[in-house]
Amino acid sequence: MTTRRIGILGGTFDPIHCGHLDIGSAAESALGLTEIVVIPANIPPHRPQPAASSYHRFAMVALAIAGHGRWRASDLELGIGSPSFTTGTLQHFHDRGFAPTELFFVSGADAFAEIESWKDFPAILDRAHFAVVSRPGFPVTDIPARLPALARRMTKPSDVATRTTPSIFLIDAPTANVSATAIRERSANGESIAGLVPPAVGQHIERHALYSTSMTGELGADTHLAPRAGRLHGQD
């Protein structure tokens, strides 16, 4: 039987951008992932509420991964009324018959550096492998020094076939220097976001004025724009 290696790439994705895709692609290539599930969070526990609705964020994820044959978008967390925690998402996969060593939670090095603040730490580290990818200004080579208590779990991607317990794979790969915050700000200011997001995502943002600044100065709050965007999914 073919070994299952399921990548899980979660995030607010407000919007999904080229940096997210680079992280997923680096993990897919380095670890030989057989599938990547991209899961937009409903209510992020450590971040402000998203500017775009869950419907639009899911649509942007679906558009962004359309050219990735082994990737799929999941609305697993969008129907949950409580904050989206990684530990709950991993438990969902366990309930569906996946072993911890078949799961690879994919994260940027900057986000993983805060792992000690995640819900159910340190037990969460036994629920999946973690694939940690370098981000601009935050290389994975810094992770052992930042998290010395976890250094024994850390290893290189080439060891993936021999690791029989959940491990932390450090993947040093280039990823785009872009943030969702910068994209929202550029969109609000009428500046181009070309090259920061996939073209289809950029078109979706423009078509539905997702991050336009209203006359009151609140991002995405223009009542003249909301009905046009809402009609896409039958939601206000």
Enter the tokens of residue 44: 């992020």
> How is the chain split into domains, by residue range?
6-171, 180-230
Is residue 228 over pLDDT 50? Answer: no
> φ, ψ for residue 230 (rounded to 5)?
-65, -30
Question: pLDDT tens, 103-140?
Answer: 999 999 999 999 999 999 999 999 999 999 999 999 99
Question: pLDDT tens, 176-199?
Answer: 999 999 999 999 999 999 999 999
Query: In the chain, helix, strand, coil percent, each to 5?
Result: 35, 15, 45
Work out the percent of the chain whose per-residue pLDDT is above 70.
Answer: 88
pTM recorded for the entire structure:
0.89
Distance CA 188, CA 139 (A): 30
Q: Sort 164 into a burial class: Cβ within 10 Å, 0-12 / 13-18 / 19+.
A: exposed
Residues linked to residue 118 through DSSP beta bridges, in sequence order: none
Residue range 6-171 forms a domain whose CATH class is alpha beta
Enter the tokens of residue 166: 């959940």
Is residue 1 over pLDDT 70? Answer: no
For 175, other C-beta atoms within 10 Å of its C-beta total 22
The arithmetic mean of pLDDT across residues 11-15, rounded, is: 95
Q: What is the mean pLDDT of the chain?
A: 89
pLDDT of residue 219: 45
Enter the tokens of residue 162: 């021999």
**Is residue 48 very low, low, confident or very high in pLDDT (cuts 50, 70, 90)?**
confident
Distance CA 183, CA 203 (A): 13
Question: pLDDT tens, 88-103?
Answer: 999 999 999 999 999 9
DSSP state for residue 51 in the 8-state scheme: S
Enter the tokens of residue 117: 């603040």
Gyration radius of the chain's alpha carbons: 18
Is residue 216 over pLDDT 70? Answer: no
For 113, other C-beta atoms within 10 Å of its C-beta total 18
Q: What 3-state class would DSSP assign to 196?
A: coil
Is residue 72 over pLDDT 60? Answer: yes
Nearest to 36 by CA among 63, 14, 60, 4: 4
